[in-house]
Amino acid sequence: MSIVDAHIASWCSSPLGERATEEAWDIVANAAGLVTGILATLDADYEIEGDIAVHRTTTVETGAVMKGPLIVGPNCLVAAACLFRGGCWIDSDCIVGPGAELKTTLMFQGSKLAHFNFVGDSILGSDINLEAGSIIANYRNDLADPRLRINYSGKTIESDTLKFGALVGDGCRIGANAVVAPGAILAPRTVVPRLGLIDQRTRS
């Protein structure tokens, strides 16, 4: 079982799981290609314009900015002034609130961004809630060497990956104005307190 499988129960049965077996940071690096491949398989329940597909049951408010490749599934709410870019896949029953930004992110069923959130280069499991202002950062601007180096299950994982936000397990809750530093792996049902910081970087 991969790290992604252990954190997201529906990964293997999803269109993503059928196409990607790498670790989370490698999957994210190819997110645009994955989304483009899935676009070609969608049915008439989606309104497709270029490389953007939105399910006909989803509500898109005026002022939302959607840049492809992008798939937004059934019964979602895409609020005013939110932004999608860099290759995003949104499962069913999700909410991307006002002023929120998703960059190169895969988001599973029932997850919600309240408003004024940033999520970069990440995989979000099912039934996750990000309260207002919470951030999942994707680049180690604070370090001379920003390459991925994280502590997971007592081991150090290293990669040449420069941009990776987080793998967030099913059922996590991230409080208002909290920050998840790049390279985080959050176990299912993790609770990050308001104003909290999660930083799993292994210092050299």
pLDDT digits (tens, 9 = 90+) for 92-131: 999 999 999 999 999 999 999 999 999 999 999 999 999 9
Could you give the CA distance from residue 148 to residue 194 in angstroms, rounded to a whole number? 26
Q: How many Cβ atoms are within 10 Å of 22's Cβ, its own excluded?
A: 12
In the chain, where the domains are located: 3-198
Question: Facing residues of 173 across strands?
Answer: 129, 191
SS3 state at 34 = helix
Give residue 1's pLDDT band: very low, low, confident or very high (50, 70, 90).
low
Q: Is residue 7 annotated as part of the catalytic site, yes or no?
A: no
pLDDT of residue 90: 98
Tell me the DSSP string of 92-140. Answer: TT-EE-TT-EEEEEEE-TT-EE-SS-EEEEEEE-SS-EE-TT-EE--S-
Q: From the candidates 103, 115, 140, 163, which is the catalytic residue?
A: 115
Class of the CATH-defined domain 3-198: mainly beta
Closest CA to 121 of 7, 6, 26, 201: 26
